Structure 1
Amino acid sequence: MEHLLKIPCTAMPFVSEADYSVTLAPMIHADRTAPFHVAIYLLQGSMEIIEDGIPYRIMPDQIFFLKSGIHHWGNRSFEIGSSWYYAHFYCDAPSSCMEELPRGIYYDERVSLKPSEKDRYFITLPKLINCEEKTQIKRNFEKMIEAHIHGNIPQASIRLWQIFLECAQNAQDDKVSNGYAEQIQNYVRQHYIDGFTSAQIQEACGLSYKYAGTLFKEVTGQTIKEYQCTLRLRKAEQLLKETNKSITEIAQLTGFSDVFYFSKIFHRKKGCPPGEYRKTYIPGI
């Protein structure tokens, strides 16, 4: 199972060690069950860590959290020249009556909570998160290490809490983004042949079409229309391989009203015209 760290909003972590490290020779992660949690921010190179049998490959500008009391180790050497920030820390586990902090309560680097609510919530840290554009996290790692080196443990712990909060918030944002993208994908799968309007996409996901399109491309790497075209061409490939229908019929059945446009798009995406594709992949039809 994936061992996620849950941090109570009432508890401040205690940083026992924080520093910078680099590999100048072949190195494999220690085989251990540590009494402390670990946060790693990889700056360059790559490393493999296996936690409770699950392998994780950590790449530059990713943060990885290891949970105390869980067996972890390495099988592969870190890439030579790999460098990273790290922190060993202790923190109380949330009580059974606590619940996860709702997304709407996050505000910048602080949590907007009434005093009467502070005992109710915890935040969940992602196991592995990308942070290449989140320079504040990197700065907080640098400030945490600087504070720890000078013996200012409270300041180091505050910086680590700020790292926690931003990672948890970003992880929740990613979940929300992926959820909206999945809603859009499901809608397009159901309507890719008949087509749809921007208003229908808005109604399906509850977002403006412009924002929905931006979010969809961030998650999938395609625009909504490109994804629709991908589905249409997949269906066309299937019909070319499995039926003897004409190119014109297949164009109509896959939502292309113009057979010449269909042939042009198919050629551009697949490297050959529909008729040639059929001869190549299904001789004899």
Structure 2
Amino acid sequence: MKTILIVDDEKWVRSALKWTVEQTGLPVRVIGQCSNGLEALDWLKSNKVDLVLADITMPVMNGLVFLEQLRLGGNDQDVIFITVNEDFGCVQQALRAGAIDYLLKPVEKEQLTVCLNKWFTRKEKAVKSRVVPSEPTGQLSPVEQVIHFIESLPPGQVTLAEAAKHVHMNPSYLSQLFKQQTGTNFIEYITRLRLREAKRLLQSTTLRISEIAERLGYSDLAYFTNIFKKLCRVTPSEYRKLHKGDDAL
């Protein structure tokens, strides 16, 4: 029996979605409900689930920020987003962030059944392919291949799903292997690359901070500023003032 967490700011939506999950007749069970991403992160600190069904648009912490924070914390639960309209840009951003699929509101039983069956198939394939790869002499290990792949593209523009596809591995297994071999998880590694590039751009260009954030894949300026301050101890504006005229990193 697979377990599910539902995250949506409207109680009636959570209740309706739980009922719809039960109506599919699939071996899944909703064991938790949260009203926003921040509440879900707290809930997941002491609970485990196989899948999260999360709304994209929520107060306090939206679905995209929730997913990024989830990965920063080293959690590898699959996430399926729920959205009120099929906005291609929003959906594309969600999938690039690492969501495995999306559903349109109101979620119908047939739609959910198809989506969950796809997820089950995905999990079965992952289990079958979860074999520890050997490291042939003279060849790069999967993690080294991933690092080369990341460095060949603009900073922070690679998702875990894309990296896993590049080395033909299951994302969850790659995440574990990456942490074992580098001492840091995949999202943290990408975040540090993003911030290193942010520092360079702050020092060597006159780009607005919002432009730098967007270039590095952050759609939310406030979130970018918070992440920067958390890891660099100063805001992007303060960093630019402190390092104005310094040689670029």
TM-score category, normalised to shorter length = 0.3 to 0.5
Larger C-alpha radius of gyration, 1 or 2?
Answer: 1
Give the structure with the larger strand fraction: 1
TM-score, normalisation: structure 1: 0.36
Give the structure with the larger helix fraction: 2
Higher RCO, Cα 8 Å, sep 6+: 1
